[in-house]
Amino acid sequence: MRGEVRVRNIAEYITLIVFALGVAILCFISVNADVSAETQASMLPETDVLSLNRNDVSEDTSAEPLPISSFPEIWGYVISGQEDRYRADMPLSDIGFFGAEANIYGELISVPDPRVLRNRGFTGRLHLVVVCSGQALSHAVLSPGPVRQKFTADLLAAAQAFDGLQIDFENVPARDGVVFRSFLADLRSGLGDKLFTIAIRALVRNSDPVYDYNRIKGMMDRMLVMAYDEHWSNSAPGPIASMSWCRSVAAYALQSIGREKLIMGLPFYGRTWGDITTNSAYIHSSIERIKAEQGIVDVQWDNDIPHFSYQTTVTINAYYEDERSIARRLDMYHAMGVRAVGFWRVGQESPLVWNQMRLED
C-alpha cells in the first residue's frame, strides 16, 4: 500500500511539473506575440495605427496617379475682357467666346472681337456665345415680330466672324417652348455651314417643355449639357456636380442626344453656404427677440434711430472642384462613351487640370 502511494505521488509531481512548464511556455509565446504586434504598429504612420482600431476611416487615394482622359473635342468658355486667362498650351479644340447679349430693345450688344483670341495663339474653332437673361427679355426677343426679326438678323451677321454660334438662353418661359424652337430653326436655316450649338440645362428625364432634347437636337450640330449647379446658391449645401448625378445626366443625354452631338459640361468653380443668413429685414417683435437672445442692453441712437451691434459665429460649407475631381469626372465620362467635354470657364480652374486631359489626333 505504501509503495503504491509513493509511486502515485511521484507521478503526480511529474504531471504538475509538466503542466507548469506548459503554462510558462504559453505565457512566453503570448507575451512575445503581443510585443511583436505592438512593435509593428509603432513602426506604422500614425494614420495607419489609428486604422487598426477604426473601421470607418475612408481610403486615402491622394497618392494615386490621376487618370488622363482623351477626347476628340474639348471646349472651354472664355469671357470677353479676360482673354489673358487663355494659354495657347491648353488642350482646347473649341472656345465659346462669352458673351454677346440682347438688351431691353432686342438689340445685339457686347459682341467680342475674335481677333483677340486669335492673336493669343488660339487656332481651333471659335464660337460666338449669345445669352439672354430674364424671362421677360427672353419672351420679348423670341415672340414673332419686328424685334425678333431684327435680333435674328443681328445674330446671323455677327456669327459671320466666327466658326459657329451658340445660344445660351436659360430663362425661356415655359409657355414659350414653341417660339423658342422656331427661333432656333430660323437661325439654323440662316447660318449655312457655320456650326450651330446650344448650351442647355441638365436633365435626367424628359421633363422640360422648353429644353426638350429630342425636339431640339435635330437643329443642332452640338448640344452642351450644363451638368453643374446640382446645388446652387439658395439650395442646401452640396456638390456643384456630384459623380452620381453627373452619371445620371450623362446617361440620359447619351440616350436622348446621341454621342456625336453631345458635349458634357463640367464646372471649374465652387460655392460656399453659411448656416446663418445675417442680412435681412425684421419686424419689431423679431428685433426684440434678437435683443433678448443676444443679451443686448446697450442700444445706441443714431440721429434718433435706435441701433445696436453684436457678433455671431457662422459656419461655412464649401464645395469646389480641383484637378482630382475633374480627372475622376472626365474618366467617368470617357468610360461612358462621351466624346466631347466643355468647361465653364477658363480662368476659374486649378492649373493642374490641364494635365488630366488630351486632345485626340
Q: Are the C-beta atoms of 337 and 49 separated by less than 8 Å?
A: no
Question: CA torsion, points 90, 96, 101, 106, in degrees to nearest 10?
Answer: 160
| pLDDT at residue 61, rounded to an integer | 56
Give the Cα separation of 292 and 335 in Å (integer).
58
| pLDDT at residue 278, rounded to an integer | 83
pLDDT beneath 70, residues of the chain: 1-63
Q: Which grid cell is 355? A: 494635365
Could you report the per-residue pLDDT of 109-129, keeping only the tens digit for each?
999 999 999 999 999 999 999
- pTM score, whole prediction: 0.81
| pLDDT at residue 63, rounded to an integer | 67
| pLDDT at residue 192, rounded to an integer | 97
SS3 at position 14:
helix
> What is the set of active-site residues?
170
| pLDDT at residue 64, rounded to an integer | 85
Could you report the per-residue pLDDT of 182-210, keeping only the tens digit for each?
999 999 999 999 999 999 999 999 989 99
Could you report the per-residue pLDDT of 304-353, keeping only the tens digit for each?
999 999 999 999 999 999 999 999 999 999 999 999 999 999 999 999 99
Give the Cα separation of 260 and 222 in Å (integer).
8
Domains and CATH numbers, the chain: 69-273+318-359 (3.20.20.80), 276-307 (no CATH)
